[in-house]
Structure 1
């Protein structure tokens, strides 16, 4: 398994463990040089968004993956975690609806977690 898939699975599992809502994996490597995968989810409130961020960062760090940068952590409305090959977007429910990344990146391929295994 390549490292991008491995990171995507780890991030997905970490968010699922923290009860993230509507976790989506979008393969964008064929249409963009930004990353291979976007993992998008939302929390129900700012505390849960923070817990999701911490869970993803801890799980990936345990496996030796460190973020290139993390943005938006203070506001907890939209946190972007850039790991190079994957970018994790964790939103508040309202901001996810507003920014609608799934629509913007609709040319990417939406995957199930099984597709990564």
Structure 2
């Protein structure tokens, strides 16, 4: 599975758990850490955990090895490392505070299929 398809899979999984403001950032020209970042948020800790768990489960069902899952217990900022795609699942308050979109402001924002009605 190529990294853009993996990004869409993660975005769809997040959307299935009602994540808010799901965006993809194209990081290929900015960092060697990952090709894409997925950023989204949930309104409470349980939802943040559910979003991260769904991303992990859908990736594993597709044969993707989840390299790391960090921050799950506190559920304020969960990082799901899928290799070429790193997913940042925030609690709304933390997302506003850390504002990764501004930090990586040079990264092109991608349109994701999960953000469109069928």
Give the TM-score of the pair, scaled to structure 2: 0.93
User: Residue 67 of structure 1: SS of its match in structure 2?
Assistant: coil
- Structure-to-structure mapping, 1:88-107, within 5 angstroms: 88-107=87-106
Ranges of 4+ aligned residues in structure 1 off by more than 2 Å: none
Please state how far the C-alpha of 1:3 moved relative to its aligned partner.
1.5
Provide the C-alpha distance between the structure 1 equivalents of 2:70 and 2:49, rounded to a whole number of angstroms: 12
Q: Residues of 2 paired with 1:17 and 1:83: CA distance? A: 18
Query: Aligned residue for 1:28?
Result: 27
Task: Give the distance between the partners of 1:70 and 1:17, measured in 2 at CA.
Answer: 19
Q: 1:40 Cα shift?
A: 0.2
Q: Does 1:14 align with 2:23?
A: no
Q: Which runs of 5+ in 1 are unaligned?
A: none
| Residue 32 (structure 1) shift | 0.7
Please list, as runs of the form range in 1=range in 2, the aligned pairs for 1:68-79 lying within 5 A after superposition.
68-79=67-78
Unaligned 5+ runs, structure 2: 114-118
1:37-116 aligned at under 5 Å gives the runs 37-114=36-113
- Partners in 2 of 1:18 and 1:36 — Cα distance? 24
Cα displacement (A) at 1:66: 1.6
1:113 to partner: Cα distance: 1.2
The CA distance in 2 between the partners of 1:31 and 1:71, in whole Å, is 23
TM-superposed CA distance for 1:42, in Å, is 0.3
The secondary structure found in structure 1 opposite 2:55 is helix
Displacement of 1:78: 0.2
